Structure 1
Amino acid sequence: MMKNNVQLITYADRITGQGIDALTELLNGLLKHVFSGVHLLPFYNPIDGSDAGFDPIDHSAVDERLGSWSDVKTLGQTYDVMADLIVNHVSAQSFQFQDVLAKGKASPYWDLFLTQQDVFPEGMSEADQQAIYRPRPGSCFTPMTCGDGETYDFWTTFTDNQIDINVYAPAGRDYLNDVLEKFSQNNVNIIRLDAAGYAIKKAGTNCFMLEETFDYLDQLSARANELGMETIAEIHSHFETQIDVAKRVNMVYDFALPPLVLHTLFTNNADALLKWLAIAPRNCLTVLDTHDGIGIIDAGPMGDKAGLLDAEQIDNLVETIHDKSQGQSRKATGAAASNVDLYQVNCTYYNALGADDFDYLLARAIQFFAPGVPQVYYSGLFACENDMTLLAATQVGRDINRPYLNPETITEALQTPVVKGLIELIGIRNQHPAFAGEFACRGEGASFTLSWTLDDSTISLNVDLTKRDANIVSCQQAETHTTSIADLLNPSQD
């Protein structure tokens, strides 16, 4: 079972400038006792494709520049290791798809990939195409001419370099099962089901999070469980969908939390946040930032379904992020960069809060007190600011929050008050027994309390947004201790 402690999300190379073995050394050295697990972002061959590893040429191979499966296995001897099972697609540069391009239907790998005709054998109408939900503008099909002289419309939900897998075909099932077995053999114990909501396509639907998708997630989770691994579904959608998905898999992400925390701090009103925390799944991972952008859709309305925030609140949230980041996020979001996801704002969480140290630690405290196992992204751990140089070089929006660090920059960051305060907060979350107990929240408007209770141990986060006052009150073995969030930034005042 996954430990109920804070985990790190990171690329092996971007945090250390080296590989998986260097990441293990960092966790055992400068970050010793800080994290119990690590979400090791795609380490497959290659790590520098068009989507930073999420378009694997070979999903079963470790990129040699990072190390080998032996290095992953060593990391997993000490830490929970999460890896991505990229359920929906594989790289167009993969040997399997290259064989399909060369031979067409004569390729033994033909059935691994999904075409328009597989889903719409009688042809697809304009209404059918318009009904399909896609996270980016434009068509989800890419016509390609194969060696047999025929042109086929391959399903490409994300980009034309990410060819969708036919998960119903034996070839698709075997492909994903082979990757699961490789994970199991090398101490990977948590599987993130990447882009799983798009895996099942069906004529006459929007091809996203169908009832058949739930059934498929059940089957995939059951297979992972047989191999000794837990699964977590990575799905950006309406908050009610997250609640439904949570009932069908081991864990889900609380993707509604990041925008709700920002909304709370921007407006000095916690009502929407408290409404969500009262009904949010308890079997979840919590994040504020990830390798993707800051998700917005998860808190907003979808179609005729009301959101936790209404459309005007969502617009204000996005514009406030742009203002707080001095316009930098605007340069990395939507059509301004080649990453044009409709539901994300690209910005570091630290800059989304205007690089305000107190608000940043308060945001992390709220995350750590929310139900679920917390994860902290590597750039968030070190309170990195937007990497405008990398963005200018690549013109990939998400690169604004995917910096390349090295031992020197890490050492410097560890000396800053905000990072020291964050690590102390992580220690509180990891060590207090009450976080294994019952959660409660109360309050309204600018004042609220999040609390945990286990037997005679309690811990609470008490917040007054108007006064920008927040403290943690811990009661354990008849002793009470109060920690001010402000004092975490000024330890000499303790």
Structure 2
Amino acid sequence: MKNQIQLITYVDRIGCKNITDLKELLTNELKGLFGGVHILPFFYPIDGEDAGFDPIDHKKVDPRLGDWNDIKDLSSSVDVMADLIVNHMSADSIEFKDFLEKGSESAYDSLFLTYDKVFPEGATETDLLNIYRPRPGFPFTKFKLANGSEKLVWTTFTQKQIDIDVHSEGGKKYLDTILELYQSAGISMIRLDAAGYAIKKTGTSCFMIPETFQFIDKLTKKAHEHGIEVLVEIHSFYKTQIEIAKKVDFVYDFALPVLVLDTLFNHNANNLKNWLRTAPKNVITVLDTHDGIGIVDVASEGGEKGLIPDSVLDNIVNKMHANSEGRSLKATGSAASNLDLYQVNCTYFEALGKDESAYLIARAIQFFVPGIPQVYYVGLFGDDNDMDLLAKTNVGRDINRHYYTKEEILKKTANPMFEQLAELMRFRNTRKAFDGDFKLLETPNEILQIKWSKGSNWVKLEVNLELKKLLITESVGTEEQVYLSV
């Protein structure tokens, strides 16, 4: 994957009708801004219960968007990342319907994870209470088979998302087939969605246990055989992220979004600096995604301190809600059928109180810290919360999943803030220094200075948090030149 900014987007929510339109957008209105694109689920169907993360057919491109040839055509111009949903598939899939019809006689019997496969002797109360789940309740759903018998099936996320037995022959074949399709389509990186929940074992939390790492390692090796890199998506305590990063190609720096808010809200970069001194470097950096702004990634856990003191973190969350004038409260926690209780649902722009200078500074910090930056499509335009979509669906995350028309895109790309952000993005994509050495310069905590150097090329970011001033300088021959001042 090129060390350039990636776009993360749904095909049909960024003013595009299909994958071909997306390619045209990237080569026209968004030219030079992205070296890669993470296409959020484009499988059949894109409009399921969980916006494509509950595929009925993971091996089929939704015909409304195109087909595998269109994905291959797109991959010829930019790096393409796709999700490999390793934990589950839709209850409406042909495979699960066949299982309900035929039970143990189904060709897909081994594909699905049932309660008795993990607990053949039954589970104790302790076993059940030990299962980690960020959503309320137990991860099982009772299904009635055609013969009248009943089965408890693992459903880690929702009752429509049926967990796969990744250790079974059926599960292995299922994932292998998807990897082969991805290779043929020119996909260069996969994101393992919900990989932390893929392995269930009696007497454990069933989340990021040693066997999970073994599974990720084996799947990563298979992906490498297909010429595909692997990004693992895990929201967890920061020390867990550091350990995971040692064993995979890439992880997300999910701590960064809240640390940047902390830095800007409190005019103090101390917590961010401490993280940058210890954070893994093989990361994809984000400020916003199709999910909410994660809190668990910086919080304390089990009596261990987090990256931000809990009292300060509480104030940051309250500040986000205040900056959005309470709109984020309507989408967060149990307020909007939202089961991701460890996230705040809000656009990053509104979390910053629609402060354009603060927003550009936040993006500059993201682009200068180690890692490959991803910019979410709503964040690309620095946009407001979509309260109309939230009211329509009552799904909390939809507050940050706007459906743009082509006309809206054209209007947004003519906006002065977008033009400044685009200039900053082109800078990040074209300067050789970002492939060199990272240095966090020693400064008072109200000042943040980051420098990248490669040979005689260098670039430097300086942020004065008290004055809310951004300065980017770079080497031009033997001279120092100001590139951008905000």
TM-score normalised by length of structure 2: 0.98
- In the alignment, what sits opposite 1:80? 79
Distance in structure 1 (CA, Å) of the matches to 2:358 and 2:206: 39
CA contact under 8 A between 1:140 and 1:157: conserved in structure 2?
yes
- In the alignment, what sits opposite 1:53? 52
One-letter amino acid matched to 1:93? D
**1:396 and 2:395 are equivalent in the alignment:** yes
**1:111 and 2:132 are equivalent in the alignment:** no
- In the alignment, what sits opposite 1:211? 210
- In the alignment, what sits opposite 1:479? 479
Distance in structure 2 (CA, Å) of the matches to 1:411 and 1:322: 30
Give the deviation of 1:335 after TM superposition.
0.3
Give per-residue Cα distances to partners, 1:384-442, cap 9 Å, x unaligned: 11000000001111111000012211111112121111101101111111100111113
CA contact under 8 A between 1:5 and 1:429: conserved in structure 2?
yes
Mapping of residues 92-491 of structure 1, within 5 Å: 92-441=91-440, 442-486=442-486
Give the deviation of 1:246 after TM superposition.
1.1
Distance in structure 2 (CA, Å) of the matches to 1:373 and 1:214: 23
Give the deviation of 1:483 after TM superposition.
3.4
Q: Which moved more, 1:307-316 or 1:477-486?
A: 477-486
Structure 1's unaligned 5+ residue stretches are 487-494
Give per-residue Cα distances to partners, 1:260-284, cap 9 Å, x unaligned: 1111111111111011111111111
Give the deviation of 1:333 after TM superposition.
0.8
Q: Which moved more, 1:125-134 or 1:53-62?
A: 125-134
CA contact under 8 A between 2:334 and 2:341: conserved in structure 1?
no
Distance in structure 1 (CA, Å) of the matches to 2:136 and 2:416: 42
Mapping of residues 3-22 of structure 1, within 5 Å: 3-22=2-21
Distance in structure 1 (CA, Å) of the matches to 2:479 and 2:41: 45
Distance in structure 2 (CA, Å) of the matches to 1:220 and 1:307: 30
One-letter amino acid matched to 2:15? T
Distance in structure 2 (CA, Å) of the matches to 1:444 and 1:198: 41
Distance in structure 2 (CA, Å) of the matches to 1:250 and 1:192: 11
Give the deviation of 1:17 after TM superposition.
3.9
Identity of aligned residues (%): 53
Give the deviation of 1:485 after TM superposition.
4.0
Q: Matched residue of 1:261: which SS?
A: helix
- In the alignment, what sits opposite 1:67? 66
CA contact under 8 A between 2:16 and 2:22: conserved in structure 1?
no
Counterparts in 2 of 1:372 and 1:187: CA distance versus 1, 3 Å: same
Give the deviation of 1:301 after TM superposition.
1.2
CA contact under 8 A between 1:43 and 1:66: conserved in structure 2?
yes
Structure 2's unaligned 5+ residue stretches are none
CA contact under 8 A between 1:17 and 1:404: conserved in structure 2?
no
CA contact under 8 A between 2:142 and 2:152: conserved in structure 1?
yes
Q: Matched residue of 1:184: which SS?
A: helix
Distance in structure 2 (CA, Å) of the matches to 1:386 and 1:443: 36
One-letter amino acid matched to 1:462? E
Distance in structure 2 (CA, Å) of the matches to 1:413 and 1:393: 24
Give the deviation of 1:339 after TM superposition.
2.2
Distance in structure 2 (CA, Å) of the matches to 1:301 and 1:156: 28
Distance in structure 1 (CA, Å) of the matches to 2:100 and 2:191: 30
Q: Matched residue of 2:453: which SS?
A: strand
Q: Matched residue of 1:298: which SS?
A: coil
Q: Matched residue of 2:472: which SS?
A: strand
Q: Matched residue of 2:317: which SS?
A: helix
> Any runs of at least 4 consecutive aligned residues in structure 1 with deviations exceeding 3 A, and if so which?
none
Q: Matched residue of 1:248: which SS?
A: coil
CA contact under 8 A between 2:156 and 2:163: conserved in structure 1?
yes
Give the deviation of 1:22 after TM superposition.
0.4
One-letter amino acid matched to 2:299? G
One-letter amino acid matched to 1:170? E
Q: Matched residue of 2:365: which SS?
A: helix
Alignment size in residue pairs: 485
Give per-residue Cα distances to partners, 1:287-340, cap 9 Å, x unaligned: 111111111111111223321012222211211111111101110111011222
- In the alignment, what sits opposite 1:24? 23
One-letter amino acid matched to 2:87? N
Give per-residue Cα distances to partners, 1:436-486, cap 9 Å, x unaligned: 011111334211211111111111111111111220111132132113442
One-letter amino acid matched to 2:230? T
